[in-house]
Amino acid sequence: MPFAAPSWLTLDHVWLPYTQMAATTLPLPVVAAAGSCITLADGRTLIDGIASWWTACHGYNHPHIRAAVAAQLEQLPHVMFAGLAHEPGYELAARLARLLPGDLNHVFFSESGSVAVEVALKMAVQFWRRQGQDRHRFLAFRHGYHGDTLGAFSVTDPATGFHAALAAYRVPQHFADIPVTLAQRAEFERLLAAHGSEIAAVIIEPLVQGAGGMRFHCADTLAFIRAACDRHGLLLIADEIMTGFGRTGTLFASEQAAIVPDIICLSKALTGGTLPLAATVATEQVFTAFQSPSVDDAFMHGPTFMGNPLACAAANASLDLFESEPRLAQVAAMAAQLERELAPLQELPGVVDVRVMGGIGVVQLATGEASTLRGAFIERGVWLRPFGNIVYLAPPLNIEHADLAALTGAVVDVVSNASNTHD
């Protein structure tokens, strides 16, 4: 839909993410966001069905988070994390350790999901070095996505992970199917037996593979993977950057399989979607492996803005909201509404699957042209980013019933129209 672009909105200097700059149109100028709604410069509002890449778990501009960040801004916006300490960072680490399963007690902060994954990969390799073993490979899963930096995209499925142009730069890894069937489980065990001595860790997005196609697996499969890692003496890294903080119905997806990963990566909803922050959290076993009289055995990583106090204050406020507001009950209600309202799409010839887990609703189309539907959603007043053959919803966890109905209504309309056109 055409709009009058404000004078600052040109593509002369900004390089956009995942965008062919030769062919793109201007992005939509946003002036405000509150609750589940984004306000555009021309006054229109869009209901956000994807919570800004799954971050805004309490909706935008939540007063409790805003107040915490404002108070922190008055007192101490930033100070380096090496040699100096601040309460929001130390408090947040202790709270995460209390909330995470098992003895995931040792929190290393960074500022983005990809870096949290890099940190986890480095920790795993160095963990084995401390046992006198050089393990330089990882086992990752087809359709997995772990980020865009070198290590993170090397454990991302080369076929679905956006980085085909960089194939020559990728660090070679082992890839397996998520072991759902007996045959896949046997093949997974075979890979671990054959290559276990060079594999530092298995890395997985527990229960939901997000950017690789919003594919679900069940808790039993996740428990099988944990048990297989134990049988073969391998570390398990849970990348909960998307699934963490309620998205799958529990605070962390790993809880549903009652497993404790050796390392867990968190980001996205950690600050309620307000400020960049990530955490890589290790168990006692991983942490203590780094302890020795020599500084060479220390974990050598230290992002300049790690543990930024504003971001940590936002994260603490976000955790307050998980305690004080019925967020997980809201996710359960959202799941039921998504199931109900997306179900009719299952009947359409152009739809191959409709699935829901917690606060994620997925409509999988027969063809891979879902991104062409983006404009139609904007015309209906909703913000969605279909990709590949996937139209999905992952709105704020506390979205109002009527706003969610507007989102599912738009999905039903747009997908039905597209399905009719392709008949």
Ligand X SMILES: Cc1ncc(COP(=O)(O)O)c(C=O)c1O
Q: How many CB atoms lie within 10 A of CB 299?
A: 18
> How many residues are there in the chain?
423
The answer to whether the beta carbons of residues 251 and 99 sit under 8 Å apart is yes
Q: What is the CA radius of gyration of the chain?
A: 22
Give the residue carrying structure tokens 């790993």. Answer: 254
Question: Between residues 92 and 242, which has the closer beta carbon with respect to ligand X?
Answer: 242
Q: How many CA atoms lie within 13 A of 177 on its CB side?
A: 9
> How far is it, in rounded angstroms, from Cα 198 to Cα 422?
48
Q: H helices within 253-371, ranges in order?
A: 284-289, 309-324, 327-342
- Tell me how far, at minimum, the Cβ of 226 lies from ligand X, in Å: 18
Active site residue 18: yes
- Tell me how far, at minimum, the Cβ of 199 lies from ligand X, in Å: 20
Q: Nearest Cα to 362, choosing from 184, 150, 212?
A: 212
- Tell me how far, at minimum, the Cβ of 51 lies from ligand X, in Å: 12
Catalytic pick from 60, 148, 262, 268? 268
Question: Between residues 113 and 272, which has the closer beta carbon with respect to ligand X?
Answer: 113
Contact positions vs ligand X (CB under 6 A): 112-114, 117, 145-147, 205, 210-211, 239, 241-242, 267
Q: Nearest Cα to 277, choosing from 102, 96, 67, 30?
A: 96
Question: Between residues 147 and 196, which has the closer beta carbon with respect to ligand X?
Answer: 147
Question: Between residues 111 and 403, which has the closer beta carbon with respect to ligand X?
Answer: 111
> Angle at CA 419, nearest 5°, toward 400 and 341?
25
Active site residue 169: no
Buried b (16+ CB within 10 A) or exposed e, 63-76: ebbeebbeebeeee
Q: Measured at CB, which residue is nearest to ligand X?
A: 113
- Tell me how far, at minimum, the Cβ of 301 lies from ligand X, in Å: 15
> How far is it, in rounded angstroms, from Cα 50 to Cα 165?
27
- Tell me how far, at minimum, the Cβ of 316 lies from ligand X, in Å: 20
- Tell me how far, at minimum, the Cβ of 265 lies from ligand X, in Å: 7
Active site residue 403: no
Catalytic pick from 48, 148, 157, 239? 239
Active site residue 134: no
Question: Between residues 211 and 263, which has the closer beta carbon with respect to ligand X?
Answer: 211
Question: Between residues 156 and 364, which has the closer beta carbon with respect to ligand X?
Answer: 156
Catalytic residues: 18, 145, 239, 268
